[in-house]
Amino acid sequence: MDKVTIIINDGPSSMRTWNGLRAAAGCAGVDMQVEVFLIDAGVYAMMKGQKPPEGLKELNMAKKLSELMELGVKINACGTCVEAAAVQKEQILDGVTVCSMVDICKSIKTSKNALVF
């Protein structure tokens, strides 16, 4: 099975983040192994309790991430970025793995493709 690594740099209100997660779902839907890494402001996408404005409910990235995990997508967050963003452990969506840059690089090395959003 082909593997793809998807790196998300932007926060939950960004259309780039939304499109990156849509791409993850699409890849999972065509039987690819998908690993998502949230870095920089992307770590805010994994925070519980998001409340996007009416009319933009699809920008609840925590909900999207939960749906992806149900599809078998592995969701990771850069530990250095989590620390720099002052995200507390209890704010992190269940099922997200806090990882290192080495983990991101290992995933890229074993992937057929790496996409950055």
Identify residue 115 by its one-letter amino acid code.
L
Contacts of 37 (CB under 8 A, 6+ apart): 5, 6, 7, 8, 76, 77, 78, 99, 103, 104, 107
37-79 pLDDT per residue, tens: 999 999 999 999 998 888 888 889 999 999 999 999 999 999 9
Domains (range + CATH), the chain: 3-116 (3.40.1260.10)
pLDDT (mean) for 23-50: 97
The pTM (predicted TM-score) of the whole model is 0.94
84-113 pLDDT per residue, tens: 999 999 999 999 999 999 999 999 999 999
